[in-house]
Structure 1
C-alpha cells in the first residue's frame, strides 16, 4: 500500500484483505494491523454495519467516524466494493492475487453464493490463507448442527459456557461486561491466520482457517471442562471469589472494591499483618491453605469486615506490592493511572469533525519491532483509488469501479 505512513512492526511484510464487520473479525484484524500488517478493509457501499451507529460526539460536524469504529478499525485502509456486482468481484480478485490472507465473518455460504469461495480464491493465489469466523464454524473442519444459525457476542457467551460460570450466585448466570463472545474469537482468528501465513511462507501452501465463536469461548472456560471430568461436578457461578482458592477475589473498601489473591501461606500472613490482625492468620480455621479452602465463606466474611474499614488508597498503601492486590478501577481511575500512561495504553487519534478521541493502545509490547496505533480508522472508501491502482488496475478501470461503488452517506 502506498501512502504517507512509513512501514512499522513485525508484520510489515503481510497483506490482509479484510471483509469482516462488527466486532469479532475486526478485532482480530486490528491485532495484525497494530503490528504493521497492511489490512485493507473491503466494505460495501453502505459500509461496515457499525459505521452509522456511532456513537458520535455531540459536537461532531462530520459524523464519519464513531467511537466503536475508531477503536477496532484503526491502522486499516478502506476500499468500497459491491461484491454483488461483477465489477466488484473482479476488483476483489485483483486484490487477492498478492494477498497473504482473506478474512471474513459472514454466515456460512455467503462467499460461495458470491462466487468467491476459498476454493475459487485459492486457484487465483495458491498460497492464500482464508480465515473464517462464524458462530458455529464451517463444514470444512466440522459440520455443526447449528451451522446456519446467526450469532452475536451474547449467543457465544451463552453457548460457549462462560455465562454459566459467571454471576453473583448459582441461580444467576450473567453476561460478561466486555464483548468477550466477539473479542476472544477475534483474538484466536488473528492467531490462526498468522500461524497459517507462517506456514504458507515456508511451504507456499495456503489453507482454510476456521474459528467458531462458541468454540473460542469454550476454550477459555477450560477449567469447567476438567472440573467435570476430574471431579464430576457441574460448575456454576461463584460470584466474585474462586471456587477452591481463598482469599482470591473481590473485597469491599470504604469507597469501592479491591481484589486480593493471597491464597499462599506467606501472602496470607502478610495480608493479616498489614490489615493489623495477625490473630486472624493464626486462627486454626485459616492457618493452612486447606483450612482456608474448607472455611472460605467464613474467611471471606472476616476479611470483608477488615478491608471495609479502609479506603482503596489506604489498602493500596498497605498491600500494594506486598501481595497480589489491585483496586477495582473505573474508567476515570484508568485514565488517571500512571501505569496505563507509562504503558501507552491510552492513545489519542484524529477524528474528522471534532477533537481527537481516546482509544485503547496496543497491549503486546516488542522491543525491536514495536506495534503502535499509527493512524485513525479510515473513512468509508477513503483508499479505494490507491488500493486498486496498487493492485494493477488502470486509471480508467478504477474510475469505472468508483462510479459504480459510491459510498453511502449516513
Structure 2
C-alpha cells in the first residue's frame, strides 16, 4: 500500500498506476487518475526524463532550461522514478512494478516495449489483472500504426483545421490550429475513460485487458456536427471563423469599450435578446423568427445586433443580458480568469508546495464529486525524485540493493 496521504474517500484509493507516458495526453490521464486518489508512479527514462520538461520557455522560476511550465500542467499527484529500462535490470524493475500495479499507461510506438519484454502479452503473464493502456498517434492497428503523431499533425489530418479559421474570401483566411493541444487533451480524457471502463470490467470478471487509444480516433470522435453534416447530408461545414455554421447571432460583438461574446442557440433565447436590446419587433420579423431564417440572414442580424449595442459599455451590457438569461460574456486571458470570482469560488486554481521549486500552480480537475472529492497531494515531481522511496515501498528493496542499481547506472 502506498504511503501517499490519500483521503479515505478518494474513489481510486488503493489502486496503483504505472505511468510510462510523456508529453501531454498520457500524463494528463495519469494526473486525472492521481487526482482521483490512485498512487501514480511516473516512470521516466534515466538521463532523459519526460521531454516535456524541456519544452520551454517559459520555465519555472530558477529552473531555466530544466523545468518547463508546460510539464507542470499535467504531472501533479505523481511520484517519479528514473529507470533505464533498456538495461536488462531496468526492464526487470519495470516488470516487478507492473506485477504490483493495477494499471499501466504507455505512449511508445507500437512494438517498442515488446523489445524489452514489457509489452502487454508478457506483462499479462505475470499480472493477469493488469489494465495495459496504450496511447499512440494512430492506434495499434491500421496502415498508419507505425507513424509518429503529434497534436498539430492530427489537428490537420483529422479535419479539425478544416473547420477552424477564417473562411475563404476574408482577410487572413486559411486553416488555423486550436491554440491548446486539444487533440492530446481529448485523447487523455479517452484514455481515462478507457481505464475506468476496464476497471469495471475487471470488477465483474477479475480480468485485465488492453486499452488502445489513438490521437486520430480521439479527434474523429469529437468532430460531431462537422462529421454528421458530411456523413448525413454530404455537406462540408468549412471554416466559419468566429461565427457558428448553424446558429446566429453567435459570435464576437463590439460594445462601446470592448468586445464581448453573445451566443444564441435557440429561438427562446433570441426572443430574450430582442427584448433585452429593446428590439422586441425582431421576435416577429420573418428574417429572424427562426434559427434557420437567422442563418439565412446572418449578415443582417449581425449588423442589427451590433447597431443595438451602441451607446453602452461592455460591462453594462453583460450585466443586462445575463439578467435576461441571454448567454454572453467577455473574452478573458489567463490573468482575467485567475482573478475571476467564479474561478476562485470553484477552487479551480490549485497551489502546491514543492521542496525545490517552491509554489507550483495548476488548473484543478474539471469535475466535482460530492462524496469522494478529488485531492491534490503531490506537486509535479523532479525526474527521479522518488526513486528510492518507490523501490523500498513497492518492491521492498533494501538500501544495499538500491545502491547496487544506482551504481550500475540503472536507477537515478
What TM-score do you get using the length of structure 1 for normalisation? Answer: 0.92
Determine which of 202, 206, 210 is the counterpart of 2:208.
206
| Structure 2 equivalent of residue 191 of structure 1 | 193
Distance 1:28 1:348 in 2: 20
Determine which of 152, 164, 167 is the counterpart of 1:166.
164
Q: Give the SS at the match of 1:252.
A: strand
| Structure 1 equivalent of residue 318 of structure 2 | 316
Deviation at 1:381, TM superposition (A): 0.9
Q: Give the SS at the match of 2:53.
A: coil
Determine which of 321, 334, 338 is the counterpart of 2:337.
334
Distance 2:120 2:156 in 1: 30
Deviation at 1:121, TM superposition (A): 0.4
- Judging changes above 3 Å, is the alpha-carbon distance between structure 1 residues 56 and 326 closer, same or farther for their aligned structure 2 residues? closer
- Judging changes above 3 Å, is the alpha-carbon distance between structure 1 residues 78 and 255 closer, same or farther for their aligned structure 2 residues? farther
Determine which of 210, 216, 219 is the counterpart of 1:217.
219
Distance 2:49 2:138 in 1: 25
Aligned structure 1 segments of 4 or more residues deviating by more than 6 angstroms = none
Deviation at 1:260, TM superposition (A): 2.1
Deviation at 1:226, TM superposition (A): 1.6
| Structure 1 equivalent of residue 149 of structure 2 | 151
User: How does 1:9-408 map onto structure 2 within 5 Å?
Assistant: 9-45=10-46, 46-55=48-57, 59-60=61-62, 65-138=67-140, 143-170=141-168, 171-307=173-309, 309-321=311-323, 322-353=325-356, 355-395=358-398, 396-405=400-409
Deviation at 1:343, TM superposition (A): 0.6
Q: How large is the RMSD of aligned CA atoms in angstroms? A: 2.2
- What per-residue deviation string (whole Å, max 9, x for no partner) do you get for residues 322-381 of structure 1? 122222211121111111101111112224555523210111100110003222011111
Distance 1:248 1:95 in 2: 52
Distance 2:346 2:411 in 1: 37
Deviation at 1:255, TM superposition (A): 4.0
- Judging changes above 3 Å, is the alpha-carbon distance between structure 1 residues 120 and 281 closer, same or farther for their aligned structure 2 residues? same
Equivalent residues of 1:56, 1:63 under 8 A apart: no
- Judging changes above 3 Å, is the alpha-carbon distance between structure 1 residues 315 and 405 closer, same or farther for their aligned structure 2 residues? farther
Structure 2: tracts of 5 or more residues without a match: none
Distance 2:152 2:292 in 1: 37
- Judging changes above 3 Å, is the alpha-carbon distance between structure 1 residues 255 and 354 closer, same or farther for their aligned structure 2 residues? farther
Distance 1:61 1:136 in 2: 34
Q: Comparing 193-202 with 95-104, which one deviates more in the overlay?
A: 193-202
Structure 1: tracts of 5 or more residues without a match: none
What TM-score do you get using the length of structure 2 for normalisation? Answer: 0.92
Distance 1:19 1:4 in 2: 19
Deviation at 1:74, TM superposition (A): 0.3
Q: Comparing 301-310 with 331-340, which one deviates more in the overlay?
A: 301-310
Q: Give the SS at the match of 2:55.
A: coil
Q: Give the SS at the match of 2:369.
A: coil
Distance 2:310 2:31 in 1: 41
- What per-residue deviation string (whole Å, max 9, x for no partner) do you get for residues 79-111 of structure 1? 111110011011111111121111101112211
Equivalent residues of 2:89, 2:410 under 8 A apart: no
Equivalent residues of 1:246, 1:261 under 8 A apart: yes
Equivalent residues of 2:387, 2:411 under 8 A apart: no
Q: Give the SS at the match of 1:184.
A: helix
Equivalent residues of 2:102, 2:130 under 8 A apart: yes
Distance 2:226 2:61 in 1: 47
- What per-residue deviation string (whole Å, max 9, x for no partner) do you get for residues 162-191 of structure 1? 111111214512101110121111110111
Aligned length: 404
